[in-house]
Structure 1
Amino acid sequence: MPLSPGQIIKGARASYRLLHPLKGKTVFKAEILGARDLTQRWAVVKTATGSLERSALQREYQTYQNPFVAESPFIRSLHEGVGDMESLSAAHVVGVAPPCLVLEWMDTELRLVPSRAFRGGELPKHVARQALKALWVLYYIDSAHTGICLLSWWSGYSDRANRGLDVNLNNILISNLNSPVPVVKLADLGMVTPEGFNSQRLQSPPCRAPEVWKNQGVSHASDIWSLGVTLVHWLLGKSIFGARDKRVEGLTEAYCIAKLERLVGPLGELPGDLSVETREEFRMAALLRDMDMPPPGRGKLIDVRSLREELEEIQDPVVPPGLIDFIESLIVVDMEKRPIAHDALKHPYLDISSESRNGVSVVAN
């Protein structure tokens, strides 16, 4: 049965009174009662009812069993699993409370933080540092954050079955926002995927890396790309990558590829073993990329400039040049030239020289 307000979930570390839903009837804010070793007042209780959601919840629980993930201060903590987590793979039984994950409560998510108030200060540095450290943990265990889920944070893509879950504005969580050192953590580990997974094309179209468009699989490199895109979307307050502004019928994938090339330049040669369907997407993208809006004089069908120009146009306040440089260092078309998290942390904008000299521990603050 789904969760409901007022319900009490009894775990080994505490009991949890459900307060109000955060997502449908499966994710709730909860009050921690009678805690044995938990100091927070609030928690997030998360369950699943649909088969794909149950698989994702079980995968999230299993990912947390890795000690590098469980002990990382850069990833939202799992307090405990309540119920038989192995039974998540079985069909849901009507009238029986499903297993739950009890997760660390965080104050807000990056999506809800206005960039205007913070982009000229230290917050973008904190967000980038901590997200990169979280991705370094996943890289260390040969995993990518990206996967497939039923619903995506991006509502502009109509194919619900193939929406991806990336590093994005919804799963970068923040507490103590106005403190000198806000706490920033990465969440949503239910879609963590083995490095190189290529059985189907992953990532949501706005955050999809060039190599993923070419059906070369997801990796740490594609996570780095999606972090760069996430920072761009936060600064702009809207999705500039993807097909949200599409003005043609169909051709969603081709439009996304065409816009990507308008923003960052050519995506390079296509692999020789690319499918006919994907080659057709790239062929149509080449036509859309430079197409004019009818009638003549109305401008381009895809009305964007280079990524740097788009970021430099933001005013009141402007985006610091160092932040633009840092974002461009992440959004590199050639995945072989894109930095891994450890190297991205050395960028001058982040100003973490001591960590650059000493290396970055996957569990250290």
Structure 2
Amino acid sequence: MAWRAGRILHGRLHSFQLEKPLTKSSTVFKARVLPKSTGSTPQCRAVIKTAYERYKLADLKREYRVYSIESIRKSKPIRALLGTIDDFDSTPNLADPTPGAEPWMAFEWMDHSLVDFDPKYFKQHPRILQVASKSVLKALATYKELNLIHTAIPDGFNDERIQPIACRAPKLTDCLSPASIFGIHDDPLGVGEHWAVAKLFRLFNSLPSPVDRYRESEWELAEKLVDPQYGYMKVGTIDKEIRKLELPEIMVDFIMSLLVVDDEKRPTAQEALKYPFIHAEF
């Protein structure tokens, strides 16, 4: 049963009142942190995540286990967990939760994200992107230290997309350009993911071989979409697209160092934290 605005959730430390859904599926809500006593000042806002479907419930419980790790819970660059259902560990029947007893997690609210700002602002104030990049890399370094990041794909794996929508990697360039370099916003044919794969072909010139037969068909169509004789693809190489943004050279070098397909040549988060852009004075 989908949740509705106005509902009150009682957690271990705080209670939360749902204000409005942030997704069509009504599984993510903006909420108000309720004051602990009558007459006290309301504290802040929060974002509440829940799930109704079997596999999404499993993902939510996995996220809860990650936040149970002390170094994750106390890491400043990682979004803070404000509360959960009173007894998350014993939530009954995750495969088919009782309506009204669904597990949930409450996280700190962010009033803005980088894409809310005019791209020109970041070109004038690169310090903001420097701080954001440093925070993301520090968070990734923490996950890596705990062996929570896995980039190896087992042979024959085809159960699901490696990068589901809920786990999209940060797009470093989205806030720097009026239109994203990546994605399907400029897809003239309505082929969705095939267009996104084709764009990666054009940006990076080549991609690793597909891991299964279904992906092979995606690769074949992608190769045709980038063929100059059809004229569908207007985007250039990643180097050309990044340089169109007219960023400081030190920032361009930093972004290009991260956008490397070969994981053996791509720097780790710890290595990237040593790059000149991270330590430059702006």
What interval of TM-score do these two structures reach, taking the shorter chain for normalisation? 0.7 to 0.9
1:288 equivalent to 2:225? Answer: yes
1:241 equivalent to 2:182? Answer: yes
What secondary structure, in the 3-state scheme, does the structure 2 residue paired with 1:23 have? coil
Counterparts of 1:195 and 1:77, CA distance in 2:
25
Counterparts of 2:93 and 2:124, CA distance in 1:
45
What secondary structure, in the 3-state scheme, does the structure 2 residue paired with 1:301 have? coil
What secondary structure, in the 3-state scheme, does the structure 1 residue paired with 2:172 have? helix
Moved more, 73-82 or 113-122: 113-122
Q: Which one of 28, 31, 34 corresponds to residue 29 of structure 1?
A: 31
Counterparts of 2:12 and 2:102, CA distance in 1:
16
Offset, 1:127 = 1.2
For each residue in 1:326-349, what CA deviation from the matched residue of structure 2 results, as whole angstroms up to 9, or x when unmatched?
110001122100000000111111
Aligned counterpart, 1:141: 146
For each residue in 1:234-259, what CA deviation from the matched residue of structure 2 results, as whole angstroms up to 9, or x when unmatched?
21232322333233464843x43332
Maintained 8 Å contact 2:33/2:43: no
Note closer, same or farther for the CA distance 1:352–1:13 as it changes in structure 2 (3 Å cut): farther
Counterparts of 1:58 and 1:88, CA distance in 2:
12
Counterparts of 1:49 and 1:251, CA distance in 2:
26
Aligned counterpart, 1:102: 106
Aligned counterpart, 2:201: 261
Note closer, same or farther for the CA distance 1:281–1:103 as it changes in structure 2 (3 Å cut): closer
Counterparts of 1:236 and 1:286, CA distance in 2:
26
Aligned counterpart, 1:304: 235
1:330 equivalent to 2:270? Answer: no
Counterparts of 1:251 and 1:45, CA distance in 2:
29
1:120 equivalent to 2:129? Answer: no
Aligned counterpart, 1:51: 54
Matches within 5 A, 1:218-233: 226-227=169-170, 230-233=171-174
Aligned counterpart, 1:184: none
Maintained 8 Å contact 2:10/2:86: no
Note closer, same or farther for the CA distance 1:250–1:80 as it changes in structure 2 (3 Å cut): closer
Structure 1 vs Structure 2: percent identity of aligned residues? 30
Counterparts of 1:120 and 1:88, CA distance in 2:
52
Counterparts of 1:8 and 1:307, CA distance in 2:
47
For each residue in 1:191-244, what CA deviation from the matched residue of structure 2 results, as whole angstroms up to 9, or x when unmatched?
xxx553543341269x9xxxxxxxxxxxxxxx9xx44xx112221232322333
Note closer, same or farther for the CA distance 1:285–1:90 as it changes in structure 2 (3 Å cut): closer
- Count of matched residue pairs: 267
Maintained 8 Å contact 2:12/2:86: no
Maintained 8 Å contact 1:16/1:33: no
Counterparts of 1:5 and 1:278, CA distance in 2:
41
Counterparts of 1:70 and 1:348, CA distance in 2:
29
Note closer, same or farther for the CA distance 1:42–1:117 as it changes in structure 2 (3 Å cut): same
- The one-letter amino acid of 1:290's match is D
Offset, 1:34 = 0.6
Task: Give the unaligned 5+ runs of structure 1.
Answer: 145-193, 208-222, 294-299, 354-365
Counterparts of 1:80 and 1:43, CA distance in 2:
10
Superposition RMSD in Å: 2.9
Aligned counterpart, 2:244: 313
Note closer, same or farther for the CA distance 1:119–1:204 as it changes in structure 2 (3 Å cut): farther
